[in-house]
Structure 1
Amino acid sequence: MEGLDGPPMTCEEHEELVLRLRDWRARLSVELPKIEVRFEDVSVETEVYVRRRVLPTLSNTIINTAQFVGKVTHNGAKMDRGSSQRMCAFVGQRDVHHAEMTVKETIEFARRMLNAGNNSGDLLITITGLDECADTRIGDEMRRGISGGQKKRVTIGEMLAAPAQCFFMDDISTGLDSLTAFQILKYLQQLTHVLDLTMVVSLLQPTQEAFNLFDDIIFLCEGRIAYQGPRQHVLEFFESMGFKCPDRKNIADFLLEVTSKMDQEQYWVNNRSTYQYMPVQKFSDSFGSSHHGRLLQKDLHMQHSSQKSDQMIGTKERSSIPKWDVFKMSMALFRFIAIIGRTQVMANTIGTASLTAIFILGGFVISKDSIQSWLIWGYWFSPVTYGQNAVAINEFLDERWSMNSEDGESTNDTVGKTILKLRGMLTESHWYWYSVAILLIFAVVFNIFSIFALEYLKGAGKTTLLDVLAGRKTVGHIEGSINISGYPKKQETFARVSGYCEQADNHSPCLTVFESLWYSAWLRLPSQVDGHTISIFINEVMELVELKSLKDAMVGLPGTNGLTAEQRKRLTIAVELVSSPSIIFMDEPTTGLDARAAAIVMRTVRKTADTGRTIVCTIHQPSTEMFEAFDEAIPGVPQIRDDQNPATWMLDVTSPAMEYKLGIDYGIIFSKSSLYIRTEQDIFNIQGAIYGSALFIGFANASILQPVVEMERTTFYRERASGMYSSMTYAIAQVAIEIPYTIVQVLIFSIIVYPMMGFQFVVAKFFWFMFFMLLSYIYYALFGMMTVAITPNQEIAAALSFFLFVLWNIFSGFFIPRKMMPSWWRWYYWVDPAAWTIYGLMVSQLGDNVDLLQVAGRSDETVKEFLKEYFGLQDKYLSLIVSLHVAVIVLFLFIFGFSIKHLNFQKR
């Protein structure tokens, strides 16, 4: 297994790892218990009052009428909490984690609490693809953290840490792209087959590749089992019913649509009889009388052999949390209040009341002597009492407060004791240690109660891009520009014409579906739109997203009551559609939906786009139909198989493992392809890179040379006085010695930086780049030497050169293009050597480029035209720019030599 810096682990490496684990267990003669879970005639029933709104809701809240009917056994024994905790693990649909913990801490905590192996923490992080975010905190809706897909992988990793033999996983592909979902399911399949595990996984949008990984299928529709048996025989059963899956059709999508009244007819192939809608009840009855249905009933009537079950379970069962670890749990009082509150609202209510009593009775707001006798017990039960007294005693019994007090009750009272008595605090020094000990006891006691409450009261990249585009990003530093139809985006105006469907479905739980849509439309549509028009529009939107039948349903809390995850997602889209936006951003709108519901949503998205609106959408697991709803997709290199989903194929060929294997970067390939269109920002980026390369490195060269020249000048004065050589000989030698170093510097710099700037790989242009960089570095070096020669010391030379460098930077054409400079300052542009260098580099590299460029506020134009119109740069002046460089080098050399010869700052 590779380290964190190596290539991603492949499925073959997964399988090899699991096989080694099986061989290791075999050598140790470790035999894990076998688990069999049986369920028969299982259903959940409830009574709901649906008359009016307020009182029925109150009745449904108070009266818990949900009833479980049926029979579920584990290894032939009736299911109970004690036996199922260690045998089975459940991965829920919602990813509930501590937001402040990192990924590694979460996995490690689960591993320790579940008594997993020593190395399984790092192993799980690698397997679930969480290496890159292992040290990132998880976060939540209010705190920045990992992405939704990464949270789902953390949830899976937590439960895989359990030493269970049976895993139940509810929609584990939510938030994952199809490639990641396939890799995780492939690993689960290898674990199941090699280690004899049992895994029951529900998926909403399985790709064909993911579907093929399963051994058996339980097709549950409208609360009834329409098929349960081997995956290979599922199509045979439905063909016997008169329905056939078309070629290249995802079998999972076919199963969902063949039971739908809207889509069933298209799969009817029985020409011997006329098509009539076949309800789910008929599929279920037909399966019961089929071959696989009869085998299933036969297995259910066979008694489970429990000869070794009790022994195995008893051997495996042990304390989940060691007693000593209980005392290490923290968060004492607040954790206890949060747990007994059950919900955030209730916890806040209890917490506010508790904290009010604690502070009032803690001796700070009201001193101990002023508390009524019948409430004094509250003073001794308040943690604030002991915290406050410990701090006060530690301070006021110090020697600084030991002088006698004239206001004390006795002549022996010190100033510190007098202050403590005036505030009604304890005055004996031993109460400091008593208070510390009592505070520790408080922490331990409340943690014990927290564990007790937990046991008996308990009932997880693309987004960043959309957040930035939609103006929803509130943290971090955003660079670059966003243009709408060629003009800079103004968030105040843009918010009125745009909609954003976030990945999290956040709605007010106390409103109905219609009220949620009405509230959004009323506040976001123009004020001149009347209520009748709004109502009609809302009904059209509800029909579009198939929420008409749920018009008066309460939204409720996710995972608790109200709408299901699928319905909440459709409501999120509807809330944005009723504002009639011109552009809609959708962050994974199909996450949490089954394939049929996802197809409905994408049909809605397609219809919305057909009305002229712009849709910007990210999606994790598009089916073939959903993929075809988009106008553009990134092309890949390998050939697609006939039975492969295009989106799955695209993710497969562009995965990090494939890029590592082929040694390529698709991002770089795309940037060089004909599909990539440059924008004016690309030109600005190139100019910025040229500006930084030429000016800052040149300035550094000049600054480094100045103290060296200053030091050598003192020696020169002595040697010239001795008649050893002439001044011009010395000047030419000083310049000549810098040229070889400059050539090497330019060569190394150009080889590294030139490809990174995105320039064309043309030999002539590369040498032009090196030529101008060499000329600029030479005149910068001469400029540094010249300033030393004309000034008495290095400090003045540095000040003078810094002043001139500032002027060079300002008028170089980078901060202010020449055409935008005031007319009376443009003359300085033509005497600025830095401007010549940027001119030469830009024109030599881009002056003949005729690629189209997207320019804000104007029609598309070529790069050459943009350089001329915006910067005033033309390639016909390239020879003039070269001549100016040579001239300034000769000028600086002459001034340096003349100053060395005629200026003598040595005062003796």
Structure 2
Amino acid sequence: MNTDTDPDRSSLVEGPQLSFESGKTLMAQGPQAFHDLMATNVEAAMDRPLPQMEVRFNNLSVSADIVVADDHSNKYELPTIPNELKKLLMGPRKLTVRKEILKNICGRFTPGKITLLLGQPGSGKSALMKMLSGRFPMTKNITVEGDISFNNVPEKQILDRLPQFVSYVNQRDKHFPTLTVKETLQYAHTFCGGDLMQNGKGMLDMGSRHNDVEALEAAGKIFANYPDIILHQLGLQICQDTIVGDAMLRGISGGEKKRVTTGEMEFGMKYISLMDEISTGLDSAAAYDIVDTQRSIAQRLHKTVIIALLQPSPEIFSLFDDVMILNEGELMYHGPCSQVEGYFETLGFKCPPGRDIADYLLDLGTREQRRYEVPRPAKQPRSASEFAEYFRMSQIYQETLAALEAPYDSQLLESVKDTMDPMPAFQQPLVDSVRTLLARSLVITYRNKPFIFGRLMMITIMGFLYCTIFYQFNPTQISVVMGVMFATVMFLSMGQGAQIPVYIASRDIFYKQCRANFYRTGSYVVATTISQIPMAIAETIVFGGIVYWICGFASDAKLFIIFEVVVFLSNLAMGMWFFFLAGVCANENVVMPVGMVSILVFIIFAGFIVTKDQIPDYLIWAHWISPITWGLKALAINQYRSSDFDVCVYDGVEYCTKYGLNMGEYYLNLFGIETGKEWVAYGIIYLVAIYVVFMFLSYLALEYVRYETPENVDVSVKTIENESYALMATPKAADSKGNAVVDLPVNTHEKNFVPVTVAFQDLHYWVPDPHNPKESLELLKGINGYAVPGSITALMGSTGAGKTTLMDVIAGRKTGGKITGKILLNGYEASDLAIRRCTGYCEQMDVHSEAATIREALTFSSFLRQDASISDAKKYESVDECIELLGMENIADQIIRGSSVEQMKRLTIGVELAAQPSVIFLDEPTSGLDARSAKIIMDGVRKVADSGRTIICTIHQPSSAVFYLFDSLLLLQRGGQTAFYGDLGKNCRNLIDYFEGIPGVAPLLESYNPATWMLECIGAGVGHGNGDTMDFVSYFNKSPYNQQLESNMAKEGITTPSPDLPEMVFGKKRAANSMTQMKFVVWRYFQIEEVAQIIGILFNGIFMMFVGFSPPAYSIPSGYTWLYDICPIKFPMSILVAVVFADCDELPTWDEATESYTNVGTQLGCQPMADAPEDVGHITLKEYTEEYFGFEHDTIARNFGILIGCIVLFRIWALLALRFINHQKK
């Protein structure tokens, strides 16, 4: 910890000579110089060293109580409906099992030091970080024991303000896809640091009078330029104006997205930084630069930095001061990095030469540790608990306990009084926070142009349909008028359901930012709801204006305004209801059915389909709480109690004399609607009130119901084992390099594929410039290369160099942009069909049908993607081959849901392998995996290549052991140009000799990772290094390796056809026949996005309008009868209504003398209709049903046949859409 007193004032004021004009000028000399400048000026303004924070935790334990089934005596069964019913009736008793996540962890993190947190997935790393940052989701089944304190202040005392002192960078990259990188960071700065200077002015204004003004001004400029500083610090200035993007929208690369996640939490004066797996997706050089920057921050700004990494290279490991190792929640080591190897040597373990130190440490406590054991008299520890017991007896641990009992430094206690106590929970005031959130929401909404255009198109089309169908309706046709008002309220209200995917997608971002105290939950709710008002106003004006005047409502401006207000409030109220559901339900799969059921309840009890008088007393509450009820009442009373209809005589009928009510009251009474004009005001008041109630409920849901996973706590009564390692045979290795070799017995399987050589010649790829659509950006510039069967070719380069872009182009996965050059298979130009049929593509994201088992997923791929001529037995055999090659025997029959990251990655590779492709493309197969899991995955890939397939793989941070598995390398420099292509040689000797022969390149140090060294040579990472002085592209073009590449490219079978190699020709697009496809695809489920929902709502609205109910079939204008004839909903509706209401063998006879029916039968359709409207007269239910609505009993059989035809037709359309329409933009 830095405890120096104030240094000489002149040395503070001078500092590094940097300009304050912008972030670029401040970062001109690198992060270290900037951090010196920042510390100099802030400390000068404060007249003391920067505030510091030490965190101590003593006997910290976290456990979760999980309810599981005691299934010792039962065989494992899949969670099918029959099995679940059987378990419900006869199933095992439930047990509560305690899963210990952290077990008696003691330690402290001190200012000025950077600590590495190591551990396998599920070891408790994230749990510890979340506990220390106050982000751990606390539920009733979570038990926490032990103490956590910050500068001698217990965590509980400052829990609401803790995010202002402690930042936590999550593993997941959750961002708004339509915001640019700069906007994302700018909003984070506004939330966390925008008002920091104002709030902390008193703290900064403590220096000597002759210096504090200058220093305070410099500090203010630093804070003002901080977003730009972070952009340059993380190397994001190149992509600052590019949208972040997501799986469906092309944006920045995965590595850049990870850096945005890191940068988002860099704002505000945080004293402790907790970073969880921040290197995922980054090349090793960029990861090194970012960790080096954090080291500089720790040393120069006296921050406490803790970083959890999965695959740190030795170079990155050397940047850390301390290391903490967790395994199964146990503390195996916490102390200086310089002593960790010596400590484990005392336990009987030694890291072999060439083995990465982090990989070695992660292997301890697992079966892999056998290779590191050295003979000694005492037995080596085996389990994590044994390692923890040994560590508790060590001198390092005793020193830690002594430090925990020691008093805090006086400087830390002063920080409590000067900086911690005055710190508010939120940097922005409530109003400013709402304003910032509203501005962000409006930007996001405006950029979702498909959604906006879809909504406007939908309401315009529906508005004109309504006004033309109901053009100048007759007010005495009450069912028609009420139908128009009911449809108006219902249609606009249901349209708000299209926002559900938007709400769900933004919820995870809200969780992250709210936990970080970016803003209050109330601010978010208010801003989100206000942001929906402009769209609701536009919809109301457009739709309401069209319908009101053209349909023929009362011609009164005042009544029109009331009509619009009621429709607008109904729209808002239902929008807020969907917002509440999105906050309280677990996911979209739950929200959608719950939302549809709630809408159904609101509609049924609104008083139109079932009038209030017909609703049972025990359900009448549903009528009064429905927002649609009050909107419909207000519109009906507004219409029929107007001066035009508030009369006794209308259209020749004496309503007052005949019914004792005026015309308007009579028709309102038919639907059981109150007749008092004050009910219009009541309706408006209720809609406003329910809007506020729904808003408050949304606040409660988002504040107190959080669907966040604290840690992997899935357990059973059986012994909990680490599945990833138990599945693999891991004998000792005699390799001097310490390489892990996974040896699995693999049966000999018949090859169902043709070996293929992939070649690409002079590939160029352009995309439109986002700043100037008329111009193009060239992402790939004349790339040449090839990959042969039985080999693994690595595509590497700095983040954003074009690795994934190149692979997408070769694999035919690009949906936009311009591509030139040749792609060849066995020397023949590849067709799109050939690439689709003979290649497999594994994306970074592991997307699977979670309800299936692993074997089912593989079988699905095998049967649908292998040729129909191959027998089913061979297809099943290929499934077994995949399971064997990837070591999934023990988990093959488990459902996919709940699988670990490593298991999901193996399944992703297996799904492609099951198709028996000749070529497999892998995009970052080790991303998000720890070093051991990455080695397991790549060993499996090596076996796949050895089976004769061609593997092309992008990879960012391979360890030495993983890098040695590759045969060839295509290295890309920034700008999409080739810096190297060729065979790597044994232990990468060819690559090393090539780069060491380049003038100015430093030789590879002993034990240094060749992959990291190579990327540093070409200027990868956030910094640039040699890449600025040496033109590696030109050097390669003149090298013997390029000459060898050109020579090999000219050979037969690579760029020219060979008589010994077949051309990849396929006669049909689908490998499987139609029956096989139907068999395997019938139960597949496809998610609906918001635009598809809008289109669905549009078509459903049109179909509901022409179903023959409202308006009745007889009143549909002749120009629209074709819509009535083709409406698919009409046919089941007609069947159901006719069966109930139109069934009458013999109609009764009307007796004019008695004005009653005679010979009335017992069937429901034969009964006279009671309380028929004035314009209907006497009529039976059968006649009314058939004449007014067109639901005829004699057409039941025909309608049933048409209904079956509609189902078949829609399935065919869905098949064509899935085949020819691709919404993914890459």
TM range (shorter): 0.5 to 0.7
- Cα deviation for residue 183 of structure 1 reads 1.6
TM-score with structure 2 setting the length: 0.48
Q: Is the 8 A contact 1:486 1:857 kept in 2?
A: yes
Distance in structure 1 (CA, Å) of the matches to 2:95 and 2:245: 34
- 2:956 aligns with one of 598, 601, 620: 620
Amino acid at match of 1:86: Q
- Cα deviation for residue 15 of structure 1 reads 1.5
- Cα deviation for residue 377 of structure 1 reads 8.3
| Secondary structure of the structure 2 residue equivalent to 1:315 | coil
Distance in structure 2 (CA, Å) of the matches to 1:592 and 1:308: 41
- Cα deviation for residue 571 of structure 1 reads 2.3
Distance in structure 2 (CA, Å) of the matches to 1:153 and 1:8: 21
C-alpha change, 1:5 and 1:166, in structure 2 (3 Å) is closer
- 2:907 aligns with one of 557, 571, 596: 571
C-alpha change, 1:395 and 1:101, in structure 2 (3 Å) is farther
1:750-771 deviations in whole A, cap 9, x for unaligned?
xxxxxxxxxxxxxxxxxxxxxx
Distance in structure 2 (CA, Å) of the matches to 1:654 and 1:397: 80
1:877 corresponds to: none
The answer as to 2:403 corresponding to 1:205 is: no
2:704 corresponds to: 456
- 2:946 aligns with one of 595, 610, 615: 610
- Cα deviation for residue 438 of structure 1 reads 8.7
Distance in structure 2 (CA, Å) of the matches to 1:389 and 1:665: 76
- 1:335 aligns with one of 555, 573, 579: 579
1:520 corresponds to: 861
1:791 corresponds to: none
1:763-814 deviations in whole A, cap 9, x for unaligned?
xxxxxxxxxxxxxxxxxxxxxxxxxxxxxxxxxxxxxxxxxxxxxxxxxxxx
RMSD (CA atoms): 5.1
Distance in structure 1 (CA, Å) of the matches to 2:919 and 2:1035: 30
Distance in structure 1 (CA, Å) of the matches to 2:933 and 2:297: 31
- Cα deviation for residue 620 of structure 1 reads 0.7
Amino acid at match of 2:176: H
The answer as to 2:811 corresponding to 1:470 is: yes
Q: Is the 8 A contact 1:11 1:183 kept in 2?
A: no
The answer as to 2:1015 corresponding to 1:651 is: yes
Name which one, 1 or 2, has greater alpha-carbon Rg: 1
Q: Is the 8 A contact 2:885 2:943 kept in 1?
A: no
The answer as to 2:345 corresponding to 1:239 is: yes
C-alpha change, 1:589 and 1:59, in structure 2 (3 Å) is farther
1:353 corresponds to: 597
Q: Is the 8 A contact 1:4 1:131 kept in 2?
A: no
Q: Is the 8 A contact 1:257 1:264 kept in 2?
A: no
1:168 corresponds to: 274
Distance in structure 2 (CA, Å) of the matches to 1:151 and 1:264: 38
2:511 corresponds to: none
| Secondary structure of the structure 2 residue equivalent to 1:196 | coil
Q: Which moved more, 1:135-144 or 1:460-469?
A: 460-469
- Cα deviation for residue 624 of structure 1 reads 1.5
Distance in structure 2 (CA, Å) of the matches to 1:392 and 1:146: 53
1:591 corresponds to: 927
1:329-354 deviations in whole A, cap 9, x for unaligned?
33544432211112221122222234
- Identity level (%): 33
1:421-459 deviations in whole A, cap 9, x for unaligned?
999999999999999999888776655543332211113
C-alpha change, 1:469 and 1:20, in structure 2 (3 Å) is same
Distance in structure 2 (CA, Å) of the matches to 1:183 and 1:244: 29
Distance in structure 2 (CA, Å) of the matches to 1:470 and 1:194: 47
Q: Which moved more, 1:568-577 or 1:429-438?
A: 429-438
Q: Is the 8 A contact 2:166 2:272 kept in 1?
A: yes
Q: Which moved more, 1:40-49 or 1:563-572?
A: 40-49
Distance in structure 2 (CA, Å) of the matches to 1:269 and 1:628: 26
- Cα deviation for residue 205 of structure 1 reads 0.5
- 1:104 aligns with one of 157, 182, 186: 182
1:87 corresponds to: 165
Between Structure 1 and Structure 2, the one with more strand by share is: 2
**Which ranges of structure 1 fall in alignment gaps of 5 or more residues?**
399-404, 557-561, 681-848, 861-908
C-alpha change, 1:437 and 1:601, in structure 2 (3 Å) is same
| Secondary structure of the structure 1 residue equivalent to 2:173 | coil
Q: Which moved more, 1:294-303 or 1:191-200?
A: 294-303
1:174-232 deviations in whole A, cap 9, x for unaligned?
11111221121112122222222222221111011211111110122344322211001
Amino acid at match of 1:329: T
Q: Is the 8 A contact 1:185 1:213 kept in 2?
A: yes
The answer as to 2:303 corresponding to 1:179 is: no
Distance in structure 2 (CA, Å) of the matches to 1:94 and 1:397: 58
Q: Is the 8 A contact 2:1050 2:1056 kept in 1?
A: no
Amino acid at match of 2:850: P
Between Structure 1 and Structure 2, the one with more helix by share is: 1
- 2:56 aligns with one of 13, 37, 61: 37
Q: Which moved more, 1:192-201 or 1:225-234?
A: 192-201
1:501 corresponds to: 842
Amino acid at match of 1:210: I
Q: Is the 8 A contact 1:182 1:210 kept in 2?
A: yes
- Cα deviation for residue 592 of structure 1 reads 0.9
| Secondary structure of the structure 1 residue equivalent to 2:702 | helix
1:662 corresponds to: 1028
- Cα deviation for residue 408 of structure 1 reads 11
Report the count of equivalent residues. 685
C-alpha change, 1:367 and 1:210, in structure 2 (3 Å) is farther
Distance in structure 2 (CA, Å) of the matches to 1:394 and 1:103: 50
Q: Is the 8 A contact 1:679 1:854 kept in 2?
A: no
Distance in structure 2 (CA, Å) of the matches to 1:59 and 1:88: 45
Distance in structure 1 (CA, Å) of the matches to 2:250 and 2:608: 37
C-alpha change, 1:474 and 1:12, in structure 2 (3 Å) is same
1:315 corresponds to: 422
Q: Is the 8 A contact 1:677 1:853 kept in 2?
A: no
| Secondary structure of the structure 1 residue equivalent to 2:30 | helix
C-alpha change, 1:851 and 1:575, in structure 2 (3 Å) is closer
Relative contact order: is structure 1 or structure 2 higher (C-alpha 8 Å, sep ≥ 6)?
Answer: 2
2:192 corresponds to: 114
| Secondary structure of the structure 2 residue equivalent to 1:519 | helix
- Cα deviation for residue 77 of structure 1 reads 5.5
Amino acid at match of 1:199: V
Distance in structure 2 (CA, Å) of the matches to 1:493 and 1:380: 62
Distance in structure 1 (CA, Å) of the matches to 2:832 and 2:93: 44
- Cα deviation for residue 585 of structure 1 reads 0.5
Distance in structure 2 (CA, Å) of the matches to 1:376 and 1:23: 71
**Which ranges of structure 2 fall in alignment gaps of 5 or more residues?**
1-17, 100-141, 197-222, 435-522, 533-575, 643-648, 656-663, 709-801, 972-979, 981-994, 1059-1226
1:620-662 deviations in whole A, cap 9, x for unaligned?
1011222222222344431333242211122212226537963
- Cα deviation for residue 542 of structure 1 reads 3.6
Distance in structure 2 (CA, Å) of the matches to 1:10 and 1:150: 19
Amino acid at match of 1:297: L
1:642 corresponds to: 1005
- Cα deviation for residue 146 of structure 1 reads 2.6
C-alpha change, 1:485 and 1:367, in structure 2 (3 Å) is farther
Distance in structure 1 (CA, Å) of the matches to 2:413 and 2:842: 55
1:344 corresponds to: 588
Distance in structure 1 (CA, Å) of the matches to 2:272 and 2:591: 35
Alignment of 1:374-773 (within 5 A): 446-459=694-707, 461-526=802-867, 538-556=879-897, 562-633=898-969, 634=971, 635=980, 636=995, 637=998, 638-643=1001-1006, 644-655=1008-1019, 657-658=1023-1024, 662-663=1028-1029, 665-671=1031-1037, 673-676=1039-1042
Q: Is the 8 A contact 1:329 1:447 kept in 2?
A: no
